[in-house]
Amino acid sequence: MYKSATNISRTLGDFKLKDRMFRYSNFIPKFYNYCKSLGLQTGKIMPSRAFCSDESQGYPIILICKHFGTFPFNHGLVGGVVATDRHGPHAEHGKDMVIIQASHVGYDPDNAQFGVYRRLCTEHSDISSSCGKIDAVLKWYQSEYLFAQDNILIDKRGDDYFIVIDNQLLNMQREDGLFLHLEKLIEKKGSQIVTEESHSTSKCFRASDDIRALYTDLKDKQTIGKNLLPEFFYYKKEIAKDVEGHSRLEHNLFDVMPWIVASEAPLLDAAKVNTQVEFDRAFRTIVKEKGYQGKKIVYIAGLNIDISPQQDQIFPLTKFVPWAAFIKNEDGSQMIIEQDELFAILKEQSKENPDQIDMEEAILVMENVKEIKIF
């Protein structure tokens, strides 16, 4: 999926957050009006959402229902993965088709922290991880990273720099775990890596120029810690090859996992990557889906940022960061809109939606309608 460290960091950096956010209460009517401008017909649009199952995603779903006039179809698997095998059933439920896909990440405004969310329904309104599925996937990788951070030492002796590496990390025969790019950490003699000292559980080598550059003011021996940069390691792990099953999210994140675990906000970066990969994957299945042939379809992907609600709030102040959109017309013509252009287009749309339904009135109508007896 990604060809080099430069491409990986560039990919993450290309997903902009600053000045690219909409409150959901503005995003959905703007997006609805954009869909109408493309020729989608009021009352004949079947929206679908590909969100995680987290309760924090309920507010966006309510707004989709309010502005599109119908409860959205469900395209989502845990973690914000698109269930592409649901394209066919979705296509049968409307004339014009809309899919909104978003991974999500929690945000605690009190601590300016991504990756956590206040659960008001818990006994003490506890803070927990969000997205919990992403957090669960990351734990093994983070544990491996923490071990490596604590078990690689940098030592300066006079003008010489040495790196001491735990024997487990030097065992290249392991089937899984964190593996080091030793050629980036250790100074070679010719084409060989030469051990300077052997200890009971580790070995000592002369440090590479890359390591020396990170420790120009080193005075005492210390662990490598945060200086174990993502360029210095990679992972091996056997992951089930299910296409859209339990391991889909892990597959999406695997190639960039060193950058995710080394990030200041791992769950945020993981959610961004998952959105990027899912858009790339899902739009290709939309193009091929027979049920969508001859129909208008608008597929938009982005990131839901769930700002933890306060005690007097029922819903989070969710924000949406658009990433990309795919549009296909009845005649098969299609286009992809990238983030900057997509944000500009949505920003220009009105947030007023004369077609929105009154949810209270709609519920009242159903309460007062004459009962239909089934038996």
* Helix orientation angle between 5-14 and 266-288, rounded to the nearest 10 degrees: 90
DSSP β-bridge partners for residue 163? 154, 205
Instruction: Indicate whether 47 and 83 sit together in one domain.
Output: yes
Whether residue 133 contacts residue 104, with contact meaning beta carbons closer than 8 Å, is answered with no
Identify the residue with better confidence: 70 or 127: 70
* Helix orientation angle between 24-37 and 58-68, rounded to the nearest 10 degrees: 40
Average pLDDT, integer, range 153-167: 93
Q: pLDDT category, 9, cuts 50, 70, 90?
A: low
Provide DSSP, 12-36. HHHS--TT--EEHHHHHHHHHHHHH
**Distance in angstroms (rounded) separating the CA atoms of residues 35 and 41:** 9
pLDDT tens readout for residues 262-313: 999 999 999 999 999 999 999 999 999 999 999 999 999 999 999 998 878 8
Average pLDDT, integer, range 173-198: 91
Predicted local distance difference test score (pLDDT) of residue 238: 92
Predicted local distance difference test score (pLDDT) of residue 2: 36
Instruction: Indicate whether 218 and 275 sit together in one domain.
Output: no
Q: pLDDT category, 159, cuts 50, 70, 90?
A: confident
Instruction: Indicate whether 83 and 131 sit together in one domain.
Output: yes
Task: Work out whether strand 45-50 and strand 22-23 pair parallel, antiparallel, or are unpaired.
Answer: unpaired
Average pLDDT, integer, range 176-181: 97
In this predicted structure, the answer to whether residue 3 has a pLDDT above a threshold of 50 is no
**Distance in angstroms (rounded) separating the CA atoms of residues 91 and 93:** 6
Instruction: Indicate whether 169 and 187 sit together in one domain.
Output: yes
Average pLDDT, integer, range 338-367: 94
Domain total of the chain: 2
**Domain presence at residue 252:** no
Instruction: Indicate whether 229 and 207 sit together in one domain.
Output: yes
Predicted local distance difference test score (pLDDT) of residue 97: 98
H/E run at residue 319: strand 317-328
Q: pLDDT category, 11, cuts 50, 70, 90?
A: low
Instruction: Indicate whether 128 and 151 sit together in one domain.
Output: no
What own/partner pairs with CB < 8 Å and gap ≥ 24 does 209-214 have? 210/184, 210/185, 211/154, 211/161, 211/163, 211/185, 212/161
pTM of the model: 0.91
H/E run at residue 192: strand 192-193
Instruction: Indicate whether 131 and 147 sit together in one domain.
Output: no
In the 8-state DSSP scheme, what is residue 262? T
Mean pLDDT, rounded, of the chain: 92
**Domain presence at residue 32:** yes
Whether residue 296 contacts residue 330, with contact meaning beta carbons closer than 8 Å, is answered with yes
Q: pLDDT category, 246, cuts 50, 70, 90?
A: confident
Q: For residue 288, give the 3-state DSSP assignment.
A: helix
Token digits for 17? 């957050």
Instruction: Indicate whether 127 and 14 sit together in one domain.
Output: yes
Instruction: Indicate whether 13 and 115 sit together in one domain.
Output: yes
Predicted local distance difference test score (pLDDT) of residue 226: 95
Domain that holds residue 362: 5-62+71-136+265-368
Predicted local distance difference test score (pLDDT) of residue 242: 73
Average pLDDT, integer, range 155-176: 94
Please count the other Cβ atoms lying within 10 Å of the Cβ belonging to residue 55.
14
In this predicted structure, the answer to whether residue 1 has a pLDDT above a threshold of 50 is no
H/E run at residue 193: strand 192-193
Predicted local distance difference test score (pLDDT) of residue 8: 55
Instruction: Indicate whether 193 and 81 sit together in one domain.
Output: no
Average pLDDT, integer, range 202-206: 96
Q: For residue 144, give the 3-state DSSP assignment.
A: helix
**Domain presence at residue 374:** no
* Helix orientation angle between 359-368 and 58-68, rounded to the nearest 10 degrees: 80
In this predicted structure, the answer to whether residue 344 has a pLDDT above a threshold of 50 is yes
